[in-house]
Structure 1
Amino acid sequence: RRTRYQRRSRGQEWMIRHARTAAGKSAVADDVLDQETGELRRPRAGDEQWVRPDRLARCSWRVGEVGVHADGHLAHFSGTERCGSIWACPVCSAVIRSERAREIQHAVTEHTAKGGGLLLVTLTMRHHKRQPLADTLDGLLKSWQKILRGKAWTTTKDRYGINGYLRSVEVTYGENGWHPHIHAVLFLDEQISAQAAETLGDELHGRWARYVMAATGKMPDRKHGVDVQRVSDDGKVVASYLAKMQDDHAHTWDVGAELARSDVKTARGSRSLVPFELLDVAADHLSADEKRALWVEYARATKGRRAITWSKGLKARYEVQERTDDQIIEDTERAPLRYVADGQAYDALRRRDPLRLALVLEAAEAEDWDQVARLLPGALLRIDIGPRVPPDPVAGSAFPRAG
């Protein structure tokens, strides 16, 4: 959580800078003179210097009375805006992707329990450093859509007993620029042999290479363009994928996590980064200006795209509820209100010390309300929330939620 809050703050600063320069204003706004008080203050709506950034940059902004909610185990704020970005918000993404991983793993577990087979398919494409991310994403997704059309796909489904799929898009950045790729889980009537999986990979590559070549002008080879792996009966991904994890959850890394939890992965290779790593201050081969430009490009290129899709009827088959990303945020923030914060103090922390906001939630989860008050002035509401009850290990998420 601490890392997520710091990353979110840095990403917002960069997006606000971009919005200001795009509007022809200085990258950083000067304080303005308040006509009522005669004091200098930050610009706000209605001031000449004010520029309204997009929703991503406004996540955590105060929109009402700020409350701290806690249920004896998890804590969160209320009265603040939430952007609901699965792609580019380190905080909202963690909440959404945790729930998406749980949904996916539920379907996978149900499917294998009924004797069905699973294949994890990874599709990649060649790229170079000067290619914009928006262009490579367009080429990737158009090629995927063509894979699923026509008589060839119908024949493939019949031959291998494919009765559904889940598709996830993942992005990294490395020496050759942006590297978007697809992870897809194919649901099969029954498990197939390793040889059959290899043959399917050959068939998919023939079509994938043709479509990618038409879309991008670059031909993906068989070794790097298409990878097909069988998933074990318990729904776990093969060990080679564990190397991509950023958090210490190797014992829970399953198909749901592989498709949905790109927020807790690290890129392969010493000079590769997942997008959230662009928001870290650690020294690497990229300058601060390069990181800022790349982050803005990533946020703009992914905006409005679907990160995870299910084939028609697959959610209904396994009784997975249809929920938008915003609905997931709302559903996971239902702890009782315990503390009302001073709004101006909250604003000051959000702008200057976002790490302390994460510490506020940690203290609230520990029921240390004296510490909450030291970190964020306000008033405690005395209510009885009952005994501390840990999350259901089956129904709950395999990963901690962000506050």
Structure 2
Amino acid sequence: MAKAVAAATEDDPEAIRRKTAAARKAARYGQRRTLWRISGDPKCRGCGRNLMDPENGALCVQTSEGYSLILGVQKCARIWLCPVCSRKIRQKRTEEIDSGLVDWIERGGTAFLVSLTARHDFRDRLADLMDALQGSRKGSDAQVRKARKNRAEADAAYERAEEEADRIVQAARRDAPAGVKKRAMAAAREEVAPMLTAARRALAKAQDGVSTTTRRAGAYQRLITGGQWAGDPRKSSEAAVIGLRGRIGYVGMIRATEVTVGDTNLWHPHIHVIVLVGGSFATDLDGHQVLGDVFTPDEEDLAAWEKHWRKVWTGHLQKTNPKYRPSDTCSIPDCKCDGKGHGVDFKRLETAYDAKKAAKYVAKTQDGKSPAYELAAGDLKTGRDGNMSPFEVLGRIGDLMGGVDPDDVPGHGSLQWCIDIWHEYEKAVAGRRAIEWTRGLRQLLGITGGDTEEDDIDALFDGEDAAEFRAGVRVTDDGWAAMARKGLDFEATQAAEGTDGDSAAIRDRMVSVATDAGATPEVAAGWVEPLNPVQVGEVWDAIKETSVRRSAEAAARRRRERDRETLPDRLRLALLVLVLDVHSGRDGWTWAWSRAEGRN
């Protein structure tokens, strides 16, 4: 990227900006191509590579603003894993956070940026650290059903083992001569002890399996639970009844989780939250909760809140694993924690107003960065003090796979080490939320939409559905596959850059890219078809209709499979046996049910 920027004229800031943006985009596409090769996530392997509707191919279009878009390719929406999807999703989230935060402070509210970390070292697994901070993940419906089934079977087996053990002991007592019955029973209990121990262990293992599919709260969830925070109506003082939440006027918060990896202590997951305080609530005519008056919280109440969160955060980490507990005090000279320790860091946010223009300024932290950037733009961050961001790890993997000298590649670690690190990261973040608003906060601030995975997908298509097309081309399935296979997906996106509005010129540039992919000029020309704006819109609508239909069919198929899974296993086996032996002379149903139970 530095070479691309250096090529720009020093006295042309706009040229530098464009070249810098292009270099960053090229790097993201290169990282995604590495993801195609090493990811264990099938959606990531097909992102930007597979087509939504192979019959209609891919569309490379130029918008009225002069931007290029590739339409019709699948998008994974993996905010943790995909550098291309992550960039667009985080950009949308940054705009939302900026909008909500600026509006809140301009109304007179107060906001804090709070950073939350845990102590760690090279022996800690990322999944364990994420569980401690963010809470454990709930298993899928199928995993929950299987775990509960295993526990029920283990529970029944343990009961049978107890019954069998009691039968053996009582038989020993009954058969033993008078005077040695107690000794015979003791010997029988010793004989059946291994059987009971094995059954007890199997039950404990099955119970652990259920607990691992049940969500357990992390230190983050503990911050906003408990009587001291939420209030206790049994207390006598008003302050205790309304709790710290009521005293500071807690409105809600926005949470973002970030992960970096170092060469010494390895994983460093941490949480940033923007907390909005100084609000009161009222009820509208429809009975809905709405924001009422805004006030400035008392400094003593704010200090009590900070103290409480520090205590809860460190206390829960201590309970989870004593080694995770952050230090309560700090002896590092000039450290920004002011001697309060490194687990919880509070920064109050301020806003400046330009009275003449009445313009809005983004609330800034003390180091001059937008809190929305701190929260949402994790894809642009680089590690500090030898740490690497996940996308830097991905970039290093790609360079090392390409034969670049390790000393010339940013970051650290061998190729195999980086791949292992990436795979551990993929597993640890799967199913987790990267950016999350507390329930109801978006609506209170007038922010539409949501922050679920489905909303992330909508964010990816947001600009595409609203774009006005100026020109474009259609690339066939074979043509797009050839270009993606050669890693020319970024070059294909550049073919429509500009404001010429000339589909023929875009076609010529795309044919050149296809030729670089190894096709003859004649074959490459057959892969690319120029379209006018109306034709682009028609093909794009057809692609979306096909995608919606296939999604509906897949959802229906999953429902049918789920319904089949809910049928008890023993009943399904009985029905199968009944069908197979329907021509026998036995009472078919009674005999089938006994076979399913294991009886003769």
Q: Indicate how the Cα distance of structure 1 residues 229 and 191 shifts in structure 2: closer, same or farther if over 3 A, else same.
A: farther
Give, in angstroms, the shift of residue 62 of structure 1.
2.4
3-state DSSP of counterpart to 2:251? strand
3-state DSSP of counterpart to 1:340? strand
With the length of structure 1 as denominator, give the TM-score of the two structures.
Answer: 0.78
Contact kept? 1:9, 1:351, Cα under 8 Å = no
Q: Distance in 2 between matches of 1:266 and 1:382?
A: 42
Q: Distance in 1 between matches of 2:299 and 2:423?
A: 42
3-state DSSP of counterpart to 1:162? coil
Q: Indicate how the Cα distance of structure 1 residues 235 and 206 shifts in structure 2: closer, same or farther if over 3 A, else same.
A: farther
* Greater percentage in helix: 2
Query: Which amino acid in structure 1 is aligned with residue 382 of structure 2?
Result: T
Q: Distance in 1 between matches of 2:310 and 2:532?
A: 62
Aligned residue runs from structure 1 range 306-345, under 5 A: 306-323=433-450, 324-334=455-465, 335=467, 336=469, 338-345=472-479
* Residue matched to 2:312: 207
Q: Distance in 2 between matches of 1:267 and 1:196?
A: 35
* Residue matched to 1:279: 394
Unaligned runs of 5+ in 1: 20-52, 243-252, 386-403
Between Structure 1 and Structure 2, how many residues are aligned?
A: 335
* Residue matched to 1:359: 491
In terms of Rg, which structure is larger? 2
Match of 2:533 among 369, 383, 387: 383
* Residue matched to 1:104: 97
Match of 1:232 among 350, 355, 358: 350
Q: Distance in 2 between matches of 1:10 and 1:126?
A: 32
Deviation by residue 1:240-277 (Cα, 9 ceiling, x = unmatched): 3x6xxxxxxxxxx42222111100111111x1011100
Q: Distance in 2 between matches of 1:312 and 1:372?
A: 46
Query: Which amino acid in structure 2 is aligned with residue 359 of structure 1?
Result: E
* Greater percentage in strand: 1
Q: Distance in 2 between matches of 1:194 and 1:277?
A: 41
Match of 2:38 among 11, 14, 22: 14
Q: Distance in 2 between matches of 1:350 and 1:258?
A: 33
Q: Distance in 2 between matches of 1:7 and 1:148?
A: 38
1:262 equivalent in alignment to 2:404: no
Query: Which amino acid in structure 2 is aligned with residue 177 of structure 1?
Result: L
1:180 equivalent in alignment to 2:314: no
Unaligned runs of 5+ in 2: 1-24, 135-217, 231-242, 279-294, 329-340, 352-360, 400-408, 515-523, 536-600
Query: Which amino acid in structure 1 is aligned with residue 474 of structure 2?
Result: V
Deviation by residue 1:88-131 (Cα, 9 ceiling, x = unmatched): 00011011111011111111011011111110000000111122
Give, in angstroms, the shift of residue 352 of structure 1.
2.4
Give, in angstroms, the shift of residue 2 of structure 1.
0.5
Q: Distance in 2 between matches of 1:195 and 1:363?
A: 60
* Residue matched to 1:28: none
Deviation by residue 1:273-329 (Cα, 9 ceiling, x = unmatched): 111000122253211111111111112211111111111211111221224111111
1:157 equivalent in alignment to 2:245: yes
Give, in angstroms, the shift of residue 204 of structure 1.
1.3
Aligned residue runs from structure 1 range 134-145, under 5 A: 134-141=127-134, 142-145=218-221
The answer to which of 259-268 and 76-85 deviates more is 76-85
3-state DSSP of counterpart to 2:76? coil
Q: Distance in 1 between matches of 2:97 and 2:44?
A: 26
Q: Distance in 1 between matches of 2:270 and 2:229?
A: 20
3-state DSSP of counterpart to 2:61? strand
Q: Distance in 2 between matches of 1:358 and 1:330?
A: 18
Q: Distance in 2 between matches of 1:196 and 1:153?
A: 12
Q: Distance in 1 between matches of 2:410 and 2:380?
A: 20
* Residue matched to 1:374: 512
Q: Indicate how the Cα distance of structure 1 residues 357 and 211 shifts in structure 2: closer, same or farther if over 3 A, else same.
A: same
Give, in angstroms, the shift of residue 149 of structure 1.
0.6
Query: Which amino acid in structure 2 is aligned with residue 100 of structure 1?
Result: R
**CA RMSD of superposed structures (Å):** 2.2
Q: Distance in 1 between matches of 2:513 and 2:303?
A: 57
Deviation by residue 1:19-48 (Cα, 9 ceiling, x = unmatched): 5xxxxxxxxxxxxxxxxxxxxxxxxxxxxx
Query: Which amino acid in structure 1 is aligned with residue 430 of structure 2?
Result: K
Contact kept? 1:118, 1:191, Cα under 8 Å = no
Q: Indicate how the Cα distance of structure 1 residues 106 and 303 shifts in structure 2: closer, same or farther if over 3 A, else same.
A: same
* Residue matched to 2:255: 167
Q: Distance in 1 between matches of 2:316 and 2:511?
A: 59
Q: Distance in 2 between matches of 1:291 and 1:237?
A: 35
